DNA sequence: TGCAAACCATAAC
DNA sequence: GTTATGGTTTGCA
């Protein structure tokens, strides 16, 4: 734990169960390093550990720090379809530049809306396939709302946490919007569609 | 519809 | 370096 003269930055890993879902978050004192959720504690924990992008000592706490507590509550709110008022500080720095761009663009998709892989690719550069890759390895689920990214034909596409969860999240987030709109991302704009478009096409 | 090829950033070797 | 791998898209039959 100690490295000679001073403390290393410690990563704290915390899991909690809310409504039968295990939420996990890894953070240091300043920002979230990784997050995940799944039906089992073990899977959540291993997901989070696998997502920690660099080797640092970490510790699993039973009693979370204030920051970890706040982060967990935010994740739960997101899972409930409520969204959060304040953006959570995420540790992007260690991720590849393109990954950062895609994640940031994904964060711009408003609650209740979805965007396509292709549209994101257009906005940030690269190809839809590459965007899909970033989503697949999204270390900040569900904080970065990769569940709001779908195929061009408004079919679901895939989801790391399982398609059932993706549908569930979109169902909770839907707000009865009826028109697509444009949102600004980094250096382009992104067309987003109401979540209903996707949910309605499921039946 | 369904298939095949192009797409392109990463991770793994 | 090189290769394999996708949460996709598009075009063509």
State the nucleotide closest to A148 in CA–C1' terms: C7
| pLDDT of A115 | 98
Would you state the CATH architecture of domain A11-79?
2-Layer Sandwich (3.30)
pLDDT the model gives residue A18: 80
- The CA–C1' separation of A128 and C9, in angstroms, is 7
pTM over 0.85: yes
pLDDT attached to residue A118: 96
Domain ranges of chain A: 11-79, 97-200
Q: What is the pLDDT of residue A55?
A: 64
Domain A97-200 has CATH 3.40.50.300: no
Beta bridge partners of A191: A182
Distance A127 CA to B5 C1' (A): 15
Profile chain A (203 residues) by mean pLDDT over runs of 10 residues.
49 87 89 92 90 75 84 92 92 94 97 97 96 96 97 95 92 96 90 96 79
**In terms of C-beta density within 10 A (0-12 exposed, 13-18 middle, 19 or more buried), how is residue A195 classed?**
buried
């Amino acid at each position: 734990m100690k490295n000679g003269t001073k403390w290393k930055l410690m990563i704290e890993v915390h899991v909690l169960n809310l409504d039968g879902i295990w939420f996990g978050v890894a953070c240091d004192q300043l920002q979230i390093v990784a997050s995940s959720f799944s039906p089992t504690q073990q899977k959540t924990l291993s997901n989070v550990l696998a997502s920690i992008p660099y080797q640092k000592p970490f510790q699993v706490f039973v009693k979370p720090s204030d920051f970890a507590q706040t982060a967990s509550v935010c994740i739960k709110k997101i899972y409930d379809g409520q969204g959060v008022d304040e953006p959570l500080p995420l540790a992007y720095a260690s991720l590849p530049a393109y990954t950062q761009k895609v994640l940031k663009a994904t964060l711009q998709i408003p609650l209740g809306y979805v965007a396509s892989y292709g549209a994101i690719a257009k906005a940030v550069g690269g190809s839809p396939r590459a965007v899909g890759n970033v989503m697949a390895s999204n270390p900040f689920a569900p904080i970065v709302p990769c569940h709001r990214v779908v195929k061009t034909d408004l079919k679901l596409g895939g989801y790391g946490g399982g398609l059932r969860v993706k549908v569930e999240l979109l169902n909770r987030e839907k707000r009865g919007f009826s028109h697509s709109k444009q949102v600004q991302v980094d250096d382009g704009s992104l067309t987003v569609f109401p979540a209903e478009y996707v949910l309605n096409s499921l039946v």
